[in-house]
């Protein structure tokens, strides 16, 4: 649509200032005023997508309905906007170069020298504009990853400069920087912001708004100084103060009138006051919990909570619904032994075994499952966590000695989790990962059918291995039931243990679909069961 407005969000001074949260908060406010808004993340690294990145490097890999493996910021976008993103919402330098090089190989450039400017910048601009056109958005917010001044961000900043020129008043730039506080002199310092804006100006980009991340309230003096040095209106100097929860940021931005300033700049009307009732009531419940419960998250990246970002946020959403604060107890799977599990879990109201790949920490996960199953502690296994639940049940209830997933042991006598026949054939093509949204039929009267309040759902996947249906009858006879199935392929998507108050394993990732206004039923029910367990204890 010709009239789509484009907002670019850049960052300066340091990384991790929360560009994603500022982008998502502004998008939320514009959406709440009735504008169809989406957010896009441009990542300056050379990987084609974050799918192959180690979680230690880049945190969680977020998966969209269309099966794209994307940056974890897309999770924030979805949680704030409650609308799905897609492959088009995340672009990396690797992907940009790949398509330019593919075009070059096809001869599309008709013998011209292919260069960063204009070919790479054209491809960046095409991908930015494509998103606006695709679903007729009123506003597209594009977050530029990295920090101004990084060599690898340069083509993006150049693309922003060109687009600002082309689009004129249909575009604007918001620059997020840090105002550090010097405790010794009790002063906020603006110099890093001045330098960072200068660097942006050197690249030919004048920001329209400067958002200042700060630990202390900005004085009028500070705002005036930044306005003066950065060529922006004083009301376009926005304070972004540290808050206890990221979900408060949209309300802070509302107080600072970031939405009004953006709409004025873009020559869009204010329409109506933002409709934020459900959001406010969520915050109200979040900040006033009646219970605090501990839930263990067993994984192998626990020293890096960003690796499980969506799970942690799903607990925040589900906690608020249940008027509870969920304290996540991080438990490293490699540390768990049969003789010490009790010490790790005796103060927990629930145990979650996390997704993952590879053998490391797997036996610890199996000990955690066994402890939850035998002690009737609410248990949720996600993806690899569900597979661990199946393996543990096979070994300890069915007495299938040496049962395993073929991912961990090719020669297991009981491959209860394995590659399906049709996957084996495409192994060489490397296309074996089941990614994106698939339907799931829920068994009537199961825990999950009740939790969903429906007999059908669509959930996102990211895995290779599956429950081996060859053993399904044995499992069901012994009390582990397949309560969710893909009807087209017959693949098992959910297992439940009948002789247990709440024991659920899901092959999919419910955490990718939990949002503030639509907390995920699997998490809501799990937290509810954990509260019951905690209250009875
Ligand atoms: N490694 C397992 C598989 O590929 C589980 C993946 C996951 O937990 N996301 O099937």
| Angstrom distance (rounded) from CA 379 to CA 364 | 15
Q: Is 511 a catalytic residue?
A: yes
Neighbours of 410 (CB within 10 A): 10
For residue 355, the CA-to-ligand 1 centroid distance in Å is 6
* Interval 305-360: pLDDT, tens: 899 999 999 999 999 999 999 999 999 999 999 999 999 999 999 999 999 999 99
CB 6 within 8 A of CB 235: no
Report CA-CA distances (Å) from 351 to 367, 371, 379, 394, 417: 11, 9, 5, 19, 21
CA dihedral 29, 30, 35, 41 (to 10 degrees): -110
What is the per-residue pLDDT for 426? 57
What secondary structure does DSSP assign to 66-123, as a single string? Answer: T--EE-THHHHHHHHH-S---GGGEEEHHHHHHHHHHHHHHTTTTTPPP-IIIIIHHH
- Of 230, 383, 388, 440, the active-site residue reads 383
| CA-wise closest residue to 444 among 454, 435, 459 | 454
What secondary structure does DSSP assign to 158-216, as a single string? Answer: HHHHHHHHHHGGGEEEEEEEE--EETTTTEE--HHHHHHHHHHHHTT---SEEEEEESS
| Angstrom distance (rounded) from CA 428 to CA 456 | 34
For residue 260, the CA-to-ligand 1 centroid distance in Å is 45
| CA-wise closest residue to 362 among 342, 392, 339 | 392
Nearby residues of 307 by Cβ (< 8 Å), 6 or more positions away? 55, 56, 59, 60, 299, 301
Residue 20 in tokens = 């994603």
What is the per-residue pLDDT for 1? 41
Check pocket membership of 356 for ligand 1, CB cut-off 6 A.
yes
- Of 466, 493, 511, 520, the active-site residue reads 511
- Tell me which of 301, 388, 432, 465 to substitute to probe ligand 1's pocket, judged by most ligand atoms within 8 Å of the beta carbon: 465
- In the block, residue with structure tokens 């009239």: 3
Check pocket membership of 357 for ligand 1, CB cut-off 6 A.
yes
CB 164 within 8 A of CB 30: no
What is the per-residue pLDDT for 54? 81
For residue 201, the CA-to-ligand 1 centroid distance in Å is 46
| Angstrom distance (rounded) from CA 254 to CA 412 | 58
What is the per-residue pLDDT for 431? 60
- Tell me which of 407, 463, 468 to substitute to probe ligand 1's pocket, judged by most ligand atoms within 8 Å of the beta carbon: 463
Atom number of ligand 1 nearest to Cα 417: 10
Phi, then psi, of 181 in degrees rounded to 5:
-105, 125
CB 348 within 8 A of CB 327: no
Check pocket membership of 384 for ligand 1, CB cut-off 6 A.
yes
| CA-wise closest residue to 9 among 165, 150, 147, 175 | 175
Q: Is 520 a catalytic residue?
A: no
| Angstrom distance (rounded) from CA 473 to CA 387 | 17
Neighbours of 223 (CB within 10 A): 20
pLDDT < 50 positions in the chain: 1, 428, 430
Report CA-CA distances (Å) from 279 to 74, 116, 252, 320: 19, 43, 13, 11
For residue 396, the CA-to-ligand 1 centroid distance in Å is 22
- Tell me which of 62, 297, 387 to substitute to probe ligand 1's pocket, judged by most ligand atoms within 8 Å of the beta carbon: 387
Q: What is the pTM of this model?
A: 0.94
Pairing type for strands 37-43 and 415-418 reads unpaired
């Amino acid at each position: 649509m010709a009239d789509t407005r484009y907002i670019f969000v850049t960052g300066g001074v340091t990384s991790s200032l929360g560009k994603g949260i500022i982008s998502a908060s502004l998008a939320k406010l514009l959406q709440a005023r009735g504008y169809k808004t989406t957010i896009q993340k441009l990542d300056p690294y050379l990987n084609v997508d974050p799918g192959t990145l180690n979680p230690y490097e880049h945190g969680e890999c977020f998966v969209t309905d269309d099966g794209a493996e994307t940056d974890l910021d897309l999770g924030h976008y979805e949680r704030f906007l409650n609308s799905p993103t897609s492959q088009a919402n995340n672009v990396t330098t690797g992907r940009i170069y790949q398509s330019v090089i593919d075009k070059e190989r096809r001869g599309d450039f008709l013998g011209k020298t292919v260069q960063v400017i204009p070919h790479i910048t054209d491809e960046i601009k095409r991908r930015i504009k494509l998103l606006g056109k695709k679903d007729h958005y009123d506003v597209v917010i594009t977050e530029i990853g990295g920090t101004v001044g990084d060599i690898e961000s340069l083509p993006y900043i150049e693309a922003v400069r060109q687009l600002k020129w082309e689009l004129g008043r249909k575009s604007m730039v918001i620059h997020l920087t840090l105002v550090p506080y010097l405790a010794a002199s009790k002063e906020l310092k603006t110099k890093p912001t001045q330098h960072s804006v200068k660097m942006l100006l050197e690249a030919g980009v004048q920001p329209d708004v400067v958002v200042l991340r700060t630990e202390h309230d900005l004085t009028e003096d500070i705002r005036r100084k930044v306005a003066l040095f950065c060529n922006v209106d004083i009301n376009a100097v926005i304070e972004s103060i540290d808050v206890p929860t990221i979900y408060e940021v949209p309300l802070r931005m509302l107080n600072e009138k970031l939405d009004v300033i953006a709409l004025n700049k873009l020559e869009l009307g204010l329409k109506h006051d933002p409709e934020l009732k459900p959001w406010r009531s969520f915050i109200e419940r979040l900040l006033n919990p009646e219970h605090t419960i501990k839930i263990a998250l067993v994984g192998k990246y626990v020293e890096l909570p960003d690796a499980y970002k969506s799970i942690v946020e799903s607990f925040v959403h589900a906690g608020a619904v249940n008027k509870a604060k969920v304290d996540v107890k991080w438990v490293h799977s490699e540390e768990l032994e049969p003789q010490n599990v009790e010490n790790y879990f005796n103060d927990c109201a629930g145990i979650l075994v996390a997704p993952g790949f590879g053998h490391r920490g797997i036996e610890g996960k199996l000990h955690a499952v066994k402890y939850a199953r035998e002690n009737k502690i609410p248990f949720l296994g996600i993806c690899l966590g569900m597979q661990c639940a199946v393996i543990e049940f096979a070994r300890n209830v069915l007495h299938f000695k040496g049962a395993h997933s073929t991912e961990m042991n090719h020669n297991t006598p009981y491959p209860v989790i394995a590659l399906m026949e049709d996957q084996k054939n495409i192994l060489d093509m490397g296309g074996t990962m089941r990614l994106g949204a698939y339907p799931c039929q829920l068994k009537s009267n199961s825990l999950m059918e009740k939790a969903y309040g429906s007999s059908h759902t669509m959930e996102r996947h990211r895995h290779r291995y599956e429950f081996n249906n060859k053993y399904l009858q044995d499992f069901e006879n012994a009390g582990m039931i397949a309560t969710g199935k893909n009807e087209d392929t017959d693949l098992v998507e959910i297992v439940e243990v009948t002789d247990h108050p709440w024991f659920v394993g899901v092959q999919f990732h419910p955490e990718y679909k939990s949002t503030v206004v639509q907390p995920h039923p699997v998490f809501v029910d799990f937290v509810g069961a954990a509260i019951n367990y905690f209250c009875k204890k």
